[in-house]
Structures are given as C-alpha cells and as structure tokens.
C-alpha cells in the first residue's frame, strides 16, 4: 500500500472521528456543569491521547450511584445514633439531670439538633511531636489489640518502617484479630499490592482508597479524590 497524502488525510479523519466519539462518551457519562463538560470536550478533541491522560488524573469523578450509595449509608447510620442519643438525653440516660451537668446537657442537645454531632465517651487524646515515638506506640498498640485493628494511611511505603508495621499487623491477624488497612494509591506510590498479600492470606484486609477491584492490581489515580487523613 502506497502512502499518499489522500490516504494519510483519510486515516487522520477516521482517527479524529474515533477520538471525538470516545471524548463524547467519556465526558457525558458523568454529571457535571455545562462549563466543565465543554471544557473537557475541547481538551479531549484538541489534544488526542494527551487529553485522555489529563482526564484520567484531573477529570474523573465518582459515579452518581457510588456517591449516592455512600451518602445513603452514612446518613442511615448517623440518623440511627442521633435518634438513639436524643431519646437517651430526654430520658436522662445519656447525661444525668444534675445541677452541675446543666450546661453539658444544653451543649449536647444543641450539637445533636443543630449539627447532627453525636456525643462520644471515654475519648483519650495523646499528642506526638516525634514520628519515632508515634510509630513505636502504634506498633505496640497493634501488638496489644485483641479484637480489631483499623488503619488509614495516606502513605504506606514498602520500607523498613512499613515492613515493621506490616509484620505487627500480620502477627495480629495470625492471632485472630480482625485487621483492616486502607491506604492512598498515590501517596503510597511504589508500594505494590503484593506487599499486602501475606496479610490477606492470614485473613486481613488491605486495599487502596476508592478501589473497586477485588485484586487491586491497578488503581487509576484521581487528583480530586484522595485520602488525606494521616
């Protein structure tokens, strides 16, 4: 086949039409503002290939169904405890109706009714100013756990410290403790999912934030959805 200008032109036209089709399908399948929709259409149309890479990092959104499911589940749990605590406060089971507790009762009722803020008890807070002290205490707490361990990390590297924490988690899982780990795939870039394979074999759970894959072998980074708790 001889490459003439006419053949090259037709090939470019076909590729451009294919790019337009995928651009329309990609952008319009997510609910977003009109301005954002047409802006991404322009990027995907003018920059074939490069535009899709930019979209993967900056443009992808959680689907409406995913957001709705998360919000509905959170609302259901929150409403359950709010109803329970409002009743307990009224029945004087949450806080005793004593003179020195009047202000505490008023503040609790205000938080429950105005901010849906559930009251919690027996909270203990310790401030760490050195990372070495923090992780030493964390590993010790993992070793002392009897029922469950839930960890959230933005960064969980496959380094000396990461291996120490993982070893403690594996030992806990081996002893029957329920272990759950969630980490950010971008913040932990370089840490392969296989790093947690032995923990999973022992019954523990470990997965990147917002991953829907059971194997978790690949997670597309999302610049606007990240886990920044720790």
Per residue, the 3-state secondary structure of 180-206, as one string, reads EEEECCCCCCCCCHHHHHHHHHCCCEE
Average the pLDDT over 86-115 and give the result: 84
Higher pLDDT, 171 or 111: 171
> What is the pLDDT confidence band of residue 49, given thresholds at 50, 70 and 90?
low
CB 119 within 8 A of CB 85: yes
CATH code reported for the domain at 131-208: 3.30.870.10
CA dihedral 38, 40, 46, 51 (to 10 degrees): -170
Spatial CA neighbour of 187 closest among 130, 134, 228, 135: 228
Q: At 1, is the secondary structure helix, strand, or coil?
A: coil
Strands 148-153 and 205-208 turn out to be unpaired
pLDDT, residue 135, reads 95
**Per-residue pLDDT reduced to its tens digit, 138-168:** 999 999 999 999 999 989 999 999 999 999 9
pLDDT, residue 156, reads 94
Q: What is the pTM of this model?
A: 0.54
Helices 50-58 & 5-28 angle (0-180, nearest 10):
10
CA angle centred on 37, ends 36 and 40, rounded to 5°? 80
Strands 148-153 and 178-183 turn out to be parallel
The DSSP annotation for 51-110 comes to HHHHHHHHT----HHHHHHHHHHHHHHHHHHHHHHHHHHHTTSSS---GGGHHHHHHHHH
Higher pLDDT, 75 or 41: 75
**Per-residue pLDDT reduced to its tens digit, 167-220:** 999 999 999 999 999 998 888 888 998 999 999 999 999 988 865 444 444 444
Average the pLDDT over 19-41 and give the result: 65
Give the C-alpha distances (Å, rounded to integers) separating 106 from 85, 94, 119, 141: 13, 12, 12, 36
pLDDT, residue 73, reads 78
Average the pLDDT over 17-43 and give the result: 66
Residue 89's contacts (CB-CB under 8 Å, 6 or more residues apart) are 95, 105, 108, 109, 112
Measure the CA–CA gap between 162 and 148, rounded to whole angstroms: 19
Higher pLDDT, 10 or 80: 80
Taking 60 as the threshold, does the pLDDT of residue 113 lie above it? Answer: yes
């Amino acid at each position: 086949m001889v490459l003439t200008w006419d053949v090259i032109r037709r090939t470019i036209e076909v590729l451009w039409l294919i790019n337009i089709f995928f651009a329309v399908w990609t952008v319009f399948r997510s609910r977003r503002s009109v301005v954002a929709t047409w802006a991404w259409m322009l990027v995907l149309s003018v920059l074939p290939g490069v535009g899709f890479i930019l979209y993967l990092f900056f443009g992808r959104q959680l689907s409406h169904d995913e957001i709705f499911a998360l919000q509905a589940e959170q609302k259901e749990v929150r409403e359950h405890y709010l109803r329970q605590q409002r009743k307990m406060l009224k029945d004087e089971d949450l806080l005793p109706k004593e003179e020195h507790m009047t202000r505490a009762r008023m503040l609790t009722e205000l938080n429950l009714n105005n901010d849906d803020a559930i009251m919690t008890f027996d909270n203990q807070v310790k401030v760490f100013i050195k990372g070495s002290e923090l992780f030493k205490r964390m590993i010790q707490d993992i070793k002392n756990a009897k029922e469950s361990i839930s960890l959230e990390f933005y960064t969980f590297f496959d380094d000396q410290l990461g291996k120490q924490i993982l070893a403690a988690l594996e030992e806990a899982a081996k002893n029957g403790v329920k272990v759950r780990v969630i980490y950010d795939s971008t913040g932990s870039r370089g840490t392969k999912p296989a790093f947690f394979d032995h923990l999973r074999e022992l019954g523990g759970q470990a997965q990147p934030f917002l991953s829907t894959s059971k194997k978790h072998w690949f997670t597309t980074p999302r610049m606007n959805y990240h886990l920044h708790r720790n």
